[in-house]
Structure 1
Amino acid sequence: MRYFFASGSAYIVAMLPVFAMLANVSGAPLMLTALALLFSNSYGGMVTHYGGAAGPVIFGVGYNDIKSWWLVGAVLTILTFLVHITLGVWWWNMLIGWNML
């Protein structure tokens, strides 16, 4: 769904209120849902050479070809996702335990 929008900012502005409302109706923690959506927005800019603001500029210089860009982007996206799922969830639980979130 991220690629229906021209930028990550447009995606967040359009979709965050919708997903926040759905989270609120379903009883999910609103702050954690919003943070998860905001963090996941970075995946679109990592995967492709056109998904973020800096990607077209860096790709246009010619340092990388499309295949290597997508390969490195996929690896970085998977690693970032794993960090968010492991350390991120652990950290959120710590913040909830300390009544900070």
Structure 2
Amino acid sequence: MDRVAKLASQKAVVIFSKSSCGMCHAIKRLFYEQGVGPAIYELDEDARGKEIEWALMRLGCNPAVPAVFVGGKFVGSANTVMTLHLNGSLKKMLRDAGALWL
């Protein structure tokens, strides 16, 4: 859990992902299209990926990926992020975290 918190606070937007996950790809693309360069941790390419995955599940992320953190705070998985994007809240969160300038 400490490792997740440390990684999540290293950049304005952090995404825990798996390289073979379609929803992870869609969420990463959403952020790129917003002009955000998130830190991305591919759990299937990390030697300690399984323990990070368990920590994310303990946070309430089920499935464990994609897991999005903005400003060091857990936002949620794909459904939550898409809902925030569609209702306009995501852009404000990104601005407040310093990930967007406009």
Q: TM-score range by the shorter chain?
A: under 0.3
Q: Which has the larger radius of gyration?
A: 1
Question: Going by fraction, where is strand more abundant, 1 or 2?
Answer: 2
Question: Going by fraction, where is helix more abundant, 1 or 2?
Answer: 1
